Amino acid sequence: MAKQVVQLDRVIIRFAGDSGDGMQLTGDRFTSETAMLGNDLATLPDFPAEIRAPAGTLPGVSAFQLHFADHDIMTPGDAPNVLVAMNPAALKANLHDLPRGSDLIVNTDEFTKRNLQRVGYEESPMEDGSLEAYRVHAIPLTSMTVGALKDVDVTRKEAERAKNMFALGLLCWLYHRPTEGTIAFLEKKFASKPTLLRANTIAFEAGWSFGETTEDFSVSYEIKPAPVRPGQYRNISGNLAMAYGLLAASWRSELPLFLGSYPITPASDILHELSKHKRFGVRTFQAEDEIAGVGAALGAAFGGHLGVTTTSGPGLALKAETVGLAVSLELPLVICDIQRGGPSTGLPTKTEQSDLLQALYGRNGEAPVPIVAPRSPSDCFDAAVEAVRIAVTYRTPVIVLSDGYLANGSEPWRIPDLDALPAIDPAFATEPNHTAADGAAEFWPYLRDTETLARAWAAPGTAGLEHRIGGLEKQDGSGNVSYDPANHDLMVRTRQAKVDRIAASIPPLEVDDPGDDADILVLGWGSTYGPIGAAVRRCRDAGLHVAQAHFRHLNPLPDNTEHVLKRYRTILLPEMNLGQLALLLRGRFLVDVISYTQVRGMPFKAAELASVIQEAATDE
């Protein structure tokens, strides 16, 4: 008899298990099937910094949360509707997030006395009544997987390792996900290992069939596709979008891409991705350290190529002196900082927005650097293109501030039309641009475009334009070394003025204020866009008049920033740091911005933010 099918508008699933249980892979696969189905979605991988923490322990728990819906959504969701717990540690680490009444799928095989003790359970929560508030599905996932594979020639360990595919199959049945993509994925992954291919495929199908036949699940769920703008879509993570954005900007500017980088979490995937694309002429260089990574990128930029370096907070600190040199040389350079929890080594796999002030001010001397911050995983593509546009047009280093949440999170993305990318013109100097006192034509590297203040850029190999540049202060125009006090004052102010002028090329700060009568403006920058947006929606649904504005450019700020700030009596600024942008806005505009901060290594939850907004709005 066919089971009942219930229509849902949205679901949040969290897969949790040991680092070795393949939870990230399971989550990725479920995400792909969900994307193909046309649901809107957002994901949040959450994994430990250790590659394999001791099995079965709390520090070793790895989780993947996926929010999907029949309408447009902005975050991976606050609390799961379904928790898949592959062992007691995963249950213990995640249960507090699970609202009462939710579905809890538990792999009972792992609930042995030893595993329970390891995480401090005196008694099994499966038996002591502590899970009575949940709809518990106690399933011996491991032994059922092993049973399903009894005719396949794999070791017991290999059979057990396929249990994540069993779980995936079950969830695919439960939420009517297509299965072809996963089968195709397994065929590719295990192309050279036919036995493992068979084992994983059988486990996956067995999980699906189990859902179909077991009486434990009386209903299954359907979530209709979300209505979105027409077009071709794919699912994409932030780091992949960043890599593609750099490639697209290289194509657009006709500058060959050079990436100098040193491996660091959570930025390394950009290096991995770009190293695959040699056919585009991309040169990736894994340097001996962070300093050499940015140094080599700057060397490539001097050579007339698109120099890029990728890093995270600790690496940005090491690169500071070279970024300062790039400020002085006035060469294009893009520094992608995928922020993580700090200070020091901090929380390598967790997210934070605490490098803003480092990016703005973390250099000796007056060394202004433009900053661009993407707001969602797919927006990393556009942010990368924008960073290249500014760097090349204005001959300046540019810092992109992404973070761990954007880097590893994913969402559906309308594939862009390359023709819609902004023009990026290196406009290399090819001729002398100055006449010497004796009438000879010569090249002055520090003569500037009157509009952008960008200096003339001549790459080696251009005859007649030979010149020397360096980190010493140089004479305005000629670029020769100069220690003249008035000239230094002029050059410091000119470098600042050049960065300020970028504001003329960026859009104004857009305010979303539907009734134009909001009592409160909620500001943000970077990856908080989703949670703030979701929270603002909740507040509006509850009848509050709330405006939202989100910064993409942190330096320079859009020209209308002050105007926007002065329009609202109450301004709330949530940040995943201790109030860095709030400090800047208060200092610069004398506006009493209310700072709301959290540094928990995780994105804000929409419900929490909604109550913060509500409180701030009604305090007046």
**Residue ranges in 277-316 that form contacts with another protein under rule CB under 8 A:** 277-281, 283, 285, 287-289, 291-292, 295-305, 307
The whole-angstrom separation of Cα 29 and Cα 44 is 14
The whole-angstrom separation of Cα 580 and Cα 576 is 9
The whole-angstrom separation of Cα 110 and Cα 89 is 10
- Which parts of 254-273 interact with another protein (CB under 8 A)? 254-256, 258, 260
* Binding letters toward another protein, positions 21-60, x by CB under 8 A: -----------x--xx-x----------------------
CB of 427: closest distance to another protein in angstroms? 7
- Which parts of 438-477 interact with another protein (CB under 8 A)? 459-472
Contact pick of 212, 216, 321, 562 for another protein (by CB under 8 A): 321
What are the beta bridge partners of residue 512?
548
The whole-angstrom separation of Cα 511 and Cα 523 is 9
CB of 159: closest distance to another protein in angstroms? 29
Q: What is the DSSP string of 252-319?
A: HHT--EEEEE---TTTHHHHHHHTT-GGGT-EEEE-SSHHHHHHHHHHHHHTTSEEEEEE-HHHHHHH
Instruction: Yes or no: say if 102 and 66 are a contact pair by the CB < 8 Å rule.
Output: no
604: contact with another protein by CB under 8 A: no
The tokens describing 168, both together, are 């995936």
CB of 303: closest distance to another protein in angstroms? 4
Q: Looking at beta carbons only, is 50 or 466 nearer to another protein?
A: 466
228: contact with another protein by CB under 8 A: yes
Q: Looking at beta carbons only, is 117 or 430 nearer to another protein?
A: 430
Instruction: Yes or no: say if 534 and 612 are a contact pair by the CB < 8 Å rule.
Output: no
90: contact with another protein by CB under 8 A: no
CB of 542: closest distance to another protein in angstroms? 31
484: contact with another protein by CB under 8 A: no
- Which parts of 363-422 interact with another protein (CB under 8 A)? 415-416, 418
CB of 489: closest distance to another protein in angstroms? 22
Contact pick of 3, 10, 71, 234 for another protein (by CB under 8 A): 234
The whole-angstrom separation of Cα 275 and Cα 99 is 43
CB of 214: closest distance to another protein in angstroms? 30
CB of 305: closest distance to another protein in angstroms? 5
CB of 327: closest distance to another protein in angstroms? 12
**What is the radius of gyration, based on Cα positions, of the chain?**
27
- The stretch among 55-63, 244-252, 263-271, 534-542 that binds another protein (CB under 8 A) is 244-252
The tokens describing 593, both together, are 């911005």
Distance (Å) of CA 301 to CA 129, 256, 457: 65, 10, 10
The whole-angstrom separation of Cα 382 and Cα 417 is 12
- The stretch among 50-58, 247-255, 398-406, 523-531 that binds another protein (CB under 8 A) is 247-255
- Which parts of 328-347 interact with another protein (CB under 8 A)? 329
- Which parts of 160-199 interact with another protein (CB under 8 A)? 181
CB of 203: closest distance to another protein in angstroms? 22
The whole-angstrom separation of Cα 320 and Cα 409 is 28
Q: Looking at beta carbons only, is 23 or 465 nearer to another protein?
A: 465
505-530 CB burial, b ≥16 within 10 A, e <16: bbeebebebeeeebebbbbbbbbbbb
Q: Looking at beta carbons only, is 141 or 331 nearer to another protein?
A: 331
How many other C-beta atoms lie within 10 A of the C-beta of residue 403? 30
229: contact with another protein by CB under 8 A: yes
570 Ramachandran zone, left/alpha/beta (phi>0; psi -120 to 50): beta
The tokens describing 75, both together, are 């975050």
The whole-angstrom separation of Cα 34 and Cα 26 is 12
The whole-angstrom separation of Cα 73 and Cα 310 is 29
- Which parts of 413-432 interact with another protein (CB under 8 A)? 415-416, 418, 424-428, 430
- The stretch among 65-73, 224-232, 567-575, 586-594 that binds another protein (CB under 8 A) is 224-232
CB of 493: closest distance to another protein in angstroms? 23
Q: Looking at beta carbons only, is 101 or 461 nearer to another protein?
A: 461
Q: Looking at beta carbons only, is 211 or 397 nearer to another protein?
A: 397
